[in-house]
């Protein structure tokens, strides 16, 4: 006969083992489930954006369109500059991020214990404000400011004399340096400011002294800002449109962070 040890809270060893096994089962499915729900959220938002920008979502239209010309894959082509591509600017990026967070929160509610849900709600606020809204606002503001003064700024950049290919390419690079530096600066300010906002929210609103340090996953949602940076370098290019095509993938990260979050 197996002896049963009774704990101070009335649990037996058998019940404790069952509870531990139940937690392990939840942990096993939590991250895959949250990844799925975050991706569904982003995919739904992307479909809405594509529809608003003139792409057909009818199965028959999609079936008869080459895969490379689907809304999620089509890149800018200089030979066909009038062919529409999905444009992801501030409002679209915020929509995608919000859908990601909503999907991650739903996944956390489904696949995790309900005792962790309040922590996930707090994290959703931190992700949207600190990792998305503040940095995107900083980069978007800098982008508009730079574009309004682009001609003046570029005109004072030094240029090599000569008509050779080296001089031409070097001069072209020099002209994109100011925009690149301005956007990188704005992104850095946005990430740091977003982190400060998250710490403020935790302490003053949620009354939790949690020092959120900048970590690797915090940079994933800012690939959209890199897209803005590339757009500054070349208003329309295959490289810029490629980066914008992978932005939704990286914007799944805030939702995954929310759905898997637990208070430490």
Tokens of residue 194, six digits:
């977003």
Q: Which helix (H) or strand (E) is 138 found in, with range?
A: helix 134-148
Nearest to 49 by CA among 251, 257, 238, 256: 251
Residue 102 has pLDDT above 80, yes or no: yes
In sign, the C-alpha dihedral spanning 28, 104, 75, 190 is negative
Element (H, E) at 243: helix 238-250
| DSSP class of 213 | -
Helix (H, G, I), strand (E, B) or coil at 85: coil
> Using CA atoms, how far apart are residues 117 and 176, in angstroms rounded to an integer?
46
Q: Pick from 30, 257, 36: which is nearest to 125 by CA? A: 257
Helix (H) / strand (E) element for 125: namely helix 117-126
pTM of the model: 0.80
Q: How confident is the model at residue 16 (pLDDT cuts 50, 70, 90)?
A: very low
- Angle between helices 134-148 and 90-111 in degrees, nearest 10: 170
Indicate the pLDDT class of residue 19, thresholds 50, 70 and 90.
Answer: very low
**pLDDT grade for 3, boundaries at 50, 70 and 90:** very low
Taking phi first (over 0 means left), then psi (-120 to 50 degrees means alpha), and beta for anything else, what does residue 10 get?
Answer: left
Mean pLDDT, the chain, whole residue set: 82
CB atoms within 10 A of CB 222: 25
Where b means 16+ CB within 10 Å and e means fewer, 124-134 reads: bbbbbebbbbb
The pLDDT value recorded for residue 78 is 83
CA separation, residue 131 to residues 7, 126, 145, 224 (Å):
43, 7, 22, 12
Q: What is the pLDDT of residue 43?
A: 96
Q: How confident is the model at residue 18 (pLDDT cuts 50, 70, 90)?
A: very low
- Taking the C-alpha atoms of residue 190 and residue 131, their distance in angstroms, rounded to an integer, is 9
Q: What pLDDT is stored for residue 33 in this prediction?
A: 96
Highest mean pLDDT among 80-84, 158-162, 214-218, 239-243: 80-84
Match 């998250």 to its residue by tokens. Answer: 198
Pick 59 or 241 by higher pLDDT.
Answer: 59
**Rounded Cα–Cα distance for residues 189 and 201 (Å):** 18
């Amino acid at each position: 006969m197996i002896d049963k040890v009774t704990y101070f809270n009335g649990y037996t060893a058998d019940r404790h083992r069952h509870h531990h096994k139940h937690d392990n089962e939840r942990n096993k499915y939590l991250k895959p489930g949250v990844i799925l729900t975050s991706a569904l959220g982003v995919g739904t938002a992307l479909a809405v954006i594509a529809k608003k920008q003139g792409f057909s979502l009818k199965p028959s239209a999609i079936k008869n369109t080459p895969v490379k010309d689907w809304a999620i894959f089509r890149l800018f082509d200089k030979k066909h500059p009038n062919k529409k591509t999905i444009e992801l600017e501030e409002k679209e990026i915020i929509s995608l991020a919000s859908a990601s967070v909503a999907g991650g929160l739903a996944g956390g509610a489904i696949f995790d214990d309900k005792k962790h849900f309040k922590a996930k709600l707090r994290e959703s606020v931190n992700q949207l404000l600190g990792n998305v809204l503040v940095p995107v606002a900083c980069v978007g503001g800098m982008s508009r400011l730079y574009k309004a003064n682009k001609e003046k700024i570029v005109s004072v950049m030094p240029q090599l004399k000569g008509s050779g290919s080296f001089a031409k390419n070097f001069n072209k690079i020099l002209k994109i340096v100011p925009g690149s530096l301005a956007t990188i600066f704005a992104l850095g300010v946005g990430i740091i400011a977003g982190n400060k906002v998250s710490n403020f929210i935790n302490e003053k609103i949620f009354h939790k002294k949690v020092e959120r340090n900048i970590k690797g996953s915090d940079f994933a949602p800012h690939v959209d800002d890199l897209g803005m940076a590339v757009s500054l370098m070349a208003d329309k290019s295959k490289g810029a449109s490629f980066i914008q095509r992978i932005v939704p993938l990286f914007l799944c990260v805030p939702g995954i962070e929310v759905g898997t979050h637990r208070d430490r």
